[in-house]
Homo-oligomer: A and B are copies of this chain.
Amino acid sequence: MIPRYSRSEMTDIWSPETKFRIWFEIEAHAADALAELGVIPKEAARTIWDKAGGVTFDVDRIDEIERETKHDVIAFLTHLAEFIGPDARFVHQGMTSSDVLDTCFNVQLVKAADLLIADLDALLSAIKRRAFEHKDTVTIGRSHGIHAEPVTFGLKLAQAYAEFDRNRTRLIAAREDIATCAISGAVGTFANIDPRVEEHVARAMGLTAEPVSTQVIPRDRHAMFFATLAVVASSVERVAIEIRHLQRTEVLEAEEYFSPGQKGSSAMPHKRNPVLTENLTGLARMVRSYALPAMENVALWHERDISHSSVERYIGPDATVTLDFALARLTNVMDKLLVYPERMLANMNRLGGLVHSQRILLALTQAGAQREDAYRLVQRNAMKVWNSYQQAGAASVDFLEELLADSDVRAYLSEDDIRDRFDLGYHTKHVDTIFRRVFGDA
């Protein structure tokens, strides 16, 4: 966790205080179930809640005990006993440390997933608002970085919306994957604890009972969780790179927000850098990288080894905190993105109308020209435009006017025929359909 790439709501999930609170709840709920089953006295279960339910545990004190006992769960239980008194001996009956640790880790991941889903909701809402705002803002579509045909900026955003909406679905599935609880004892056999305890704790903690565990909850669940975060991060990268492209000096169709007062480098007013989206590109690399050790964690030996533990101390917080920060930052970027529709048009038009050449070609053939003749006619006019563009970055020759002035072209097409093919509406006529597909009829 790097403080500057962290938000407190997410880092709180990974604080020792939160962890010990979750440990307590697991133990207290287990005690309830044990009492219900007659294994421990009902008053003992009540006492646990009464004496410690409202307590904030003393992390320093627990650390101090751990330095002696060299065991984190025992240190916690010892500290807990300081509040509960003699009934403390009824805590943790028949359980093993992993029952507490693994269930707690999953509770933390579920909380993290809930935050990430809320992050996605906020991001989706920001993208949707901007998408409708720019539903009809015409801009050039580019394949291979080369001007192709017109699209609208709203369509670009609708694409981003649909992608993050898919990511939301994936994240919900990933959340479900790690929302399990195991209270099954040393090697998962329930030898010393009734399976009904697990079922009770699962219910109480908002989890489902792990159908079959070893000493630990199986790590394919976590591999899938972190792999899903990696895919979400890749989508963050995609949008970030789109904005970085749009902000480059030669394109400048959009910019990350800067306040009117703010002036970039005062002497160099053009030096407004897309630093937020560049930062997001880097953060995406990190979140992606965490998927690998998570996958290598799956093949624990026999009923468990502890190799996954160090990995999870890193990636549990790092992956969720970083992605939470990235999603919030991206939401902010999308929310405030400066969009320059005039520049979009200007960029498209700098090619002097060449984006319409294909439609003219078709019109000529439909009007009876041989394919080869049509090509030649389009090309001789297009090349004039293109050459003027290539030299200076803005065409000084206009394709429409060249065509209108070419008598061979006019032999097939009237002025109206030609002007009709320069209609941008041709390219945007299905935008409403696509928006309905993506956003529904709202």
Query: Which residues in A have some Cβ–Cβ distance to B below 8 Å?
Result: 2, 4-5, 141-151, 155, 158-159, 162-163, 166-167, 170, 173, 177, 186-191, 195, 209, 211-215, 218, 220-221, 223-224, 227-228, 230-231, 234-235, 237-238, 240-242, 244-245, 247-252, 263, 266-275, 278-279, 281-283, 285-286, 288-293, 295-311, 313-315, 318, 340, 342-343, 346-347, 350-351, 354-355, 357-358, 360-361, 375, 378-379, 382-383, 386, 389-394, 426-431, 433-434, 437-438
Instruction: Tell me, rounded to whole Å, the shortest Cβ–Cβ distance linking A177 to chain B.
Output: 7
Determine the distance from Cα of A331 to Cα of B89 in the docked complex, in whole angstroms. 40
Query: Can you spell out 21 A-B residue pairs with CB atoms less than 8 angstroms apart?
Result: A144-B244, A145-B305, A150-B187, A159-B188, A170-B224, A190-B429, A237-B299, A250-B251, A268-B354, A278-B305, A278-B306, A281-B305, A282-B293, A282-B297, A282-B311, A286-B310, A286-B315, A292-B292, A340-B390, A343-B393, A392-B394
Determine the distance from Cα of A289 to Cα of B286 in the docked complex, in whole angstroms. 9
Q: Residue A266 contacts which of B163, B303, B306, B375 (CB distance < 8 angstroms)?
A: B375
Q: Residue A211 contacts which of B145, B162, B266, B393 (CB distance < 8 angstroms)?
A: B162
Instruction: Tell me, rounded to whole Å, the shortest Cβ–Cβ distance linking A70 to chain B.
Output: 10
Determine the distance from Cα of A101 to Cα of B384 in the docked complex, in whole angstroms. 34
Determine the distance from Cα of A78 to Cα of B273 in the docked complex, in whole angstroms. 23
Q: 8 closest pairs, A vs B, by CB?
A: A141-B187, A145-B248, A144-B273, A282-B310, A285-B293, A234-B298, A142-B302, A250-B250
Known contacts: A218-B159, A285-B296, A390-B252. The answer to whether A146 contacts B272 by CB under 8 A is yes
Dominant SS at the A interface?
helix
Instruction: Tell me, rounded to whole Å, the shortest Cβ–Cβ distance linking A279 to chain B.
Output: 5
A240 — which chain B residues lie within 8 A by C-beta? 299
Contact B299 A191 (CB under 8 A): no
Determine the distance from Cα of A428 to Cα of B387 in the docked complex, in whole angstroms. 30
Known contacts: A270-B389, A340-B390. The answer to whether A141 contacts B186 by CB under 8 A is yes
Besides the known contacts A5-B313, A159-B188, A346-B391, 13 further A-B residue pairs in the complex with CB atoms under 8 A apart: A2-B314, A146-B273, A148-B271, A151-B187, A159-B214, A162-B211, A167-B220, A195-B434, A211-B437, A231-B295, A240-B299, A269-B386, A288-B293
Instruction: Tell me, rounded to whole Å, the shortest Cβ–Cβ distance linking A162 to chain B.
Output: 5
Contact A227 B218 (CB under 8 A): no
A173 — which chain B residues lie within 8 A by C-beta? 170, 173
Q: Residue A379 contacts which of B267, B286, B426 (CB distance < 8 angstroms)?
A: B267
Q: Residue A393 contacts which of B159, B227, B347, B383 (CB distance < 8 angstroms)?
A: B347
